[in-house]
Chains A and B, each alone.
Chain A
Amino acid sequence: MRLTVLLFAVVLCLNSCIKDAPANPEADIESFEIDPKLLTGQTFIDQVNRKILVYLTKEAYETGITPTITISKNATITPASGQKITFNGKNEVTYTVAAAQHPNQKTYTVQVVNVGDWHFEFEKWLQNTDDKYEYPVEDDLSTLWTSGNPGIALSGVPQDPLAYPTRSTTDGYLGTKAAEMVTIKGTPLSAIVGIYLYSGSVFIGNFNPSVVLIKPLAATEFGAPYVGLPARFTGYYKYTPGAAYQDENQNIIAGKTDECAIYAVLFEGPERLDGTNIHTSERVIATATLSDGSAKTNFTKFDIPFVYKNGQLPAANKNLMLAIVASSSKDGDHYKGAIGSRLVVDNLSVIPK
């Protein structure tokens, strides 16, 4: 019966052979707190591209900030939390976080975001290092626009810019670069969680991948600080709807044609709105929405006035934020649309009052 004993020993080993925990390999900046009086908008930590986007008052930008930083357990950071950092005319400062497990480390770049004159030509694009999707950047390389691409990267699309629904195109207005959005078929992995279609989208704001699987609509965080009041939203677009419209369960809806969506929303900040409440929040102050989402073969200009809720202008002391959103399928946020629908937008502007 010794064998039986041996046998039970093997089974018991399932419990007794647990090894010591590995040293923490993670090197995150988890939070980056700045005195709210120095901010015009909420700080966002872009964990995908390792950037910390800060929206500072003019004074804070000139005199510097003293952030309180929390990092992964047992990691170390330089410069340290509580140490003053100054920008000295640049708009970038870098932090290095070293994990407890060597040699893991991450470098985060703090970027001061200046929205400037709210005129966007989508001329400069960068590529994500790991997943190879493109994203538009401003002239100073700061990130103001993002897309659903970081979320779609999680469903295992091939590492090729053209495999993603949002990318740059040279088919722009006046022959320059523009933002191209194409509704694509889901991947075999996304089908497991019931996603059969991804629309292309660009929006002002941030993409928070941490919640993308549990609450996908909350992953798109819209808006950037806006000074003054907007009067009109203008730009150029062209649109070709895909051949067959499908619902979220891949059923083809005969006779239905896909539409694009282009809109701007002014709301009370500094907290951002997201995909769950951009249309419904009490904090929405004004909207400018393209009403005609139908096919446009050539670049077509739009010029839409902002419609203020109840015709009322907000009080002057409100912390305002503005979001611009464009999507190749109007109901793409609910995984409905037509595969192949293609929207190109260029030269978007917000004209102040």
Chain B
Amino acid sequence: MYKYLLLTFLLLGSTIFTFAQNSGDTSSKFEHNVQIGYNIGGLAPISFPNTIRKINSYSPGFSPSFGYELNYRLHQKWGLAIGLRVDWKSMSVQDSVQYFHTLVSMDNATIEGDFSGTNTTKVKNIYLAVPIQALFYAGNHWKLKLGVYLAHLVHPSFYGSVSDGYLRKGDSLGEKVIIDYASFDFDKEQRTFDFGISAGAEKLIYKNFAAKADLQWGLQPVFPDSFNGISFNMYNIYGTLGVSYRF
């Protein structure tokens, strides 16, 4: 999949490049940026189901973002931006759940039930993403961006545990089975492709350095419909705070 992402990036990049060259005046219309940032967010449901009772702790974990972005100014106010970035999308969350429906399947062995107790989830996914955005030069050294991103999950990591609780076998009317501690690992269950809305703003603050903030909001559930380990859809919702250097 990341081959296609690279291809998309190269095609669009070279289109802009060619377009820029054709117009003659490349130096002013064409801008390269390298970016570094920190991702904060989560792999989370859009609306919390009532089976989640309390968030005991949350941490974004080690979530850097490195990127390159090509800007092309089409017009005085408008431009195009295409980038290639590597995003660590991590989080570590511990929550209390009640009657949380889950189904875990391995080969032909399946166990299904409602869990009440403590859930710990650690996500350390690494995505290779291509954001494609429209660029608006708002003046006063501000750049506003809105578009989409396409991403490939290069390194999946989604694991955790359930503890200090009980499972109701089948559903909430099933027999109670006390669970001290049981781990789960859903790395491979995740979709390798992700896409969503990408929006951002940056302001030139010192020489060629700009401060930037952006948001990548996934529109596709990270787990496919066929996966029943978690009874609600979860999306990659991450914001990035960082700096950008233009050259």
Contacts and interface: CB of A to CB of B under 8 A. Distances in A.
Interface of A: 1-4, 6-8, 10-11, 14-15, 17-22, 25-28, 47-48, 99, 101, 104, 106, 130, 150, 153-158, 187-190, 192-193, 209-214
B46 to A, nearest CB: 10
Central interface residue in A22, A27, A155, by most chain B CB within 10 Å: A22
Interface of B: 40-42, 44, 47-55, 58, 93, 98-99, 104-111, 114, 166, 168-180, 182-183, 199-201, 213-215, 237, 239, 241
A312 to B, nearest CB: 39
Contacts of B237: 10
Given A3-B200, A10-B239, A14-B55, A188 B109 contact: yes
Contacts of B52: 18-19
Contacts of B107: 187-188
A190 B237 CA distance: 35
Contact of B111 (A26, A48, A154): A154
27 contacts: A2-B201, A3-B214, A3-B215, A7-B40, A7-B215, A11-B40, A11-B239, A14-B44, A14-B55, A18-B52, A18-B55, A22-B50, A22-B51, A22-B99, A25-B114, A25-B171, A48-B175, A154-B111, A188-B106, A189-B104, A190-B109, A209-B169, A210-B177, A210-B178, A213-B180, A213-B182, A214-B178
A210 B104 contact: no
B55 A15 contact: yes
B55 A25 contact: no
B213 A156 contact: no
Central interface residue in A11, A19, A104, A130, by most chain B CB within 10 Å: A11
A3 B106 contact: no
A50 to B, nearest CB: 9
Contacts of A209: 169, 175-177
Nearest to B96: A18
Contacts of B98: 21-22
Given A18-B52, A26-B173, A130-B169, 13 more contacts: A2-B201, A3-B213, A7-B40, A14-B42, A18-B53, A26-B172, A99-B172, A156-B109, A156-B110, A210-B166, A210-B177, A211-B178, A213-B177
A87 B11 CA distance: 83
Contacts of B111: 154-156, 189
B175 A47 contact: yes
B177 A212 contact: yes
B50 A19 contact: yes
A26 B168 contact: yes
B48 A18 contact: yes
Contacts of B201: 1-3
A209 B41 CA distance: 39
Given A18-B55, A157-B109, A214 B48 contact: no
B225 to A, nearest CB: 21
Contacts of A1: 201, 213
B176 A210 contact: yes
A8 to B, nearest CB: 8
